[in-house]
Amino acid sequence: MLYRTFITVITLASLLGFTGLSACHRDEPEGAEEAPRQQETPPMSGASPGQEASSPQEQEATPPLAEQQTQPSVPPSTTASDTTSAQLPPSKPLDRLAPASDDVLAELEQEMLARWEKIRSVSAKMTTRFDQLGDRETHQKGLGTYDCLKQDGKILVRTFLYNGITAKRDNEDVPWVLTGQRIKRVSDGRFVYTIDERYKEITGAKRWAVYPNLLYIGGKRLFRVLRSLEGLQRLPDQTIDKKGVYVFQGTLSAARRQARVFLDKETGIMRQLITENEKSESKFVFTLSEIKLDVEFSEDHFIFVPPEDVEIQDLTQQQAGEDQATTEP
């Protein structure tokens, strides 16, 4: 009897142990799948490197659309022509120099501001390029103009940019879609007005004429942005269109993008801006070429005239106050 009881206890203990192990195995959480990467879109084309949008079809600040077309078998490299005339620096990381001291940066700043002060107006060819890899692959190539004029202590700006955009779709029959955008900006030095035409729709907006709503190519406002870069470094000098340029690198903290700024040694004009985000596999390039100085513009060139039947949305209340819309050239 005792022997039979002992055998029964041993059997029950074994069964309970096996059941416990099975329950533990069932309760183990499965490995979490990697969340899909959110598509990143470029900064405002022709405006600023820090401002992001939601998608190529939803971004508010890149140039608008002419007419949507579909190209089932055309890869992105052939859907829009490469309009960048200046030779771009290599995309591979550059060797950093020691961090630029305040004295070195101040010396270059004064030199660049002095050269900028001698310029009354600028007219240039503007090209942009944005490449987003990954699951939501997108490519944008833009061509346009950048004009600015110093007047009454302000910098008046007028830009126009046309973007050709190819985006990957989850559609086997039409894997790529080709669209276009047109965007015009006019700034009186205090406000910047934007007309965005895309997908057969035209929208208008009014913002403060400060970074990141508008990208200035010289003067104190440009250096204010340059000094705001985190971990600012001076890189080896380079050349663009056979012109020597100073090169600085830092991080746009709000946009989580590394930025490189190329300043023309002779004029103090920003010839190129490159921003990259390795994590999201995206790169944006803004380039000025064919630069003309002290150009004469018509009297109404920098006067904003809204298109008929287009409502201009006032966004100034949603942004920084007027105290930031300085008139320093």
Q: Write down the mean pLDDT value for the chain.
A: 75
Domain boundaries, the chain: 69-324
SS3 of the chain: helix, strand, coil, percent, to 5: 20, 35, 45
Rounded to whole angstroms, the Cα distance separating 112 from 102 reads 15
237-283 per-position pLDDT tens digit: 999 999 999 999 999 877 788 999 999 999 999 999 999 987 888 99
Rounded to whole angstroms, the Cα distance separating 114 from 112 reads 5
The phi-psi region of residue 190 (left if phi > 0; otherwise alpha if psi is between -120 and 50; otherwise beta) is alpha
Rounded to whole angstroms, the Cα distance separating 101 from 295 reads 36
Cβ burial of 135 (10 Å; 0-12, 13-18, 19+) is exposed
Confidence (pTM): 0.71
38-73 per-position pLDDT tens digit: 445 455 544 444 444 433 333 333 333 333 333 333
Which has more pLDDT, 167 or 319?
167
What is the pLDDT, as a whole number, of residue 42?
A: 53
The answer to whether 263 and 271 are in contact (CB under 8 A) is yes
Q: How far is residue 73 from each of residues 81, 136, 199, 265, measured CA to CA in Å?
A: 17, 17, 22, 45
Q: Which residues are within 8 A (CB) of 103 and not within 5 positions of it... i.e. 6 or more apart?
A: none
Task: Give me the DSSP letters along 135-177.
Answer: TT-EEEEEEEEEEEEEETTEEEEEEEEEEEEEEE-S-SSS-EE
The answer to whether 66 and 202 are in contact (CB under 8 A) is no
Q: What is the CATH number of domain 69-324?
A: 2.50.20.10
Model confidence band, residue 223 (pLDDT cutoffs 50, 70, 90): very high
Using alpha carbons only, give the angle 72, 161, 48 rounded to the nearest 5 degrees.
105
Strand pairing class (243-252; 230-240)? antiparallel
Q: What is the C-alpha end-to-end distance of the chain, expressed in Å? A: 104
Model confidence band, residue 189 (pLDDT cutoffs 50, 70, 90): very high
